[in-house]
Structure 1
Amino acid sequence: LAIDKQDLEEFDWVYLGERNMQLAKGEAKFDIYAGKVRIDGQEFNIPVYAGDGVSELLLGREWLKNRRLVVDLSAGLLTLENS
């Protein structure tokens, strides 16, 4: 999960360190946290990368290994289903 640093205040996640990552606009530094998310009532421990200027929450492709992503633009829905 990637999130903007300013959105971290709402979560009680544990700070793990930092990492420099190569992005399309160049290199950026991200703080890494141990996050917890709940999807369909099931709780997951995931790495969270927090950086400056992340305009949208980004969910990594690791979820797609065991879940089905369904996008319905006309209804404004994005669903992550069990496979």
Structure 2
Amino acid sequence: MIDGEFNNKGELVFQIRLIAANEDLISETAILDTGFTDWLLINNEYARSLGWVLKKSQKRMQTAGGPRNFNIYQGIVVIDREELIVRALGGDEMEDILLGVKWLQIKRLVADFPAGVLTLG
């Protein structure tokens, strides 16, 4: 189980680790976005710098802001000491790393705002 925190916007923030192709382990902050229905959203440039495998280029997908093009990468994420190979959508204008609701199919989310408790595991 990993502990998270609620940021000043009320977003659900977790520390995750990404594994680069050269096996470097990189700690990152990610926001759990319940409106995002996939595994991971990351900036294209960052995905390329990690050496993640590009599976498909320019797939058009619907977002809350309208249709957009994304690249699809295969990456490795470490959450709760578990390495998982996931599909990562890459966008050019992404500033934050987002975790999507696919994680909730395999991890239990506890979000108790009044108590200040946020866990994923």
| The two structures share one fold, judged by TM-score above 0.5 | yes
Matched, 1:39 2:79: yes
Cα-Cα RMSD: 2.4
Percent identity, please. Answer: 39
Query: Using the alignment, how far apart are the partners of 2:47 and 2:83 within structure 1?
Result: 18
| Aligned twin of 1:3 | 42
Q: Assess if the C-alpha contact under 8 Å between 2:43 and 2:95 holds in 1.
A: yes
Q: Look up the SS of the partner of 1:8 in the other structure.
A: helix
Aligned to 1:24: 64
Mind listing any 5+ residue stretches in structure 2 that lack a counterpart?
1-39
| TM-score, structure 1 normalization | 0.77
Question: Is 1:52 paired with 2:96?
Answer: no
How many residues align? The count is 81
Distance 1:22 1:79, change over 3 A: same
In structure 1, runs of 5+ residues without a counterpart are none
Please report how far the alpha carbon of residue 11 of structure 1 lies from its aligned counterpart in structure 2 after TM superposition: 1.2
Higher deviation after alignment, 1-10 or 50-59: 1-10
So what's the TM-score if we normalise by structure 2? 0.56
- Cα displacement (A) at 1:71: 4.0
Distance 2:80 2:97 in 1: 18
Q: CA deviation at 1:9?
A: 4.1
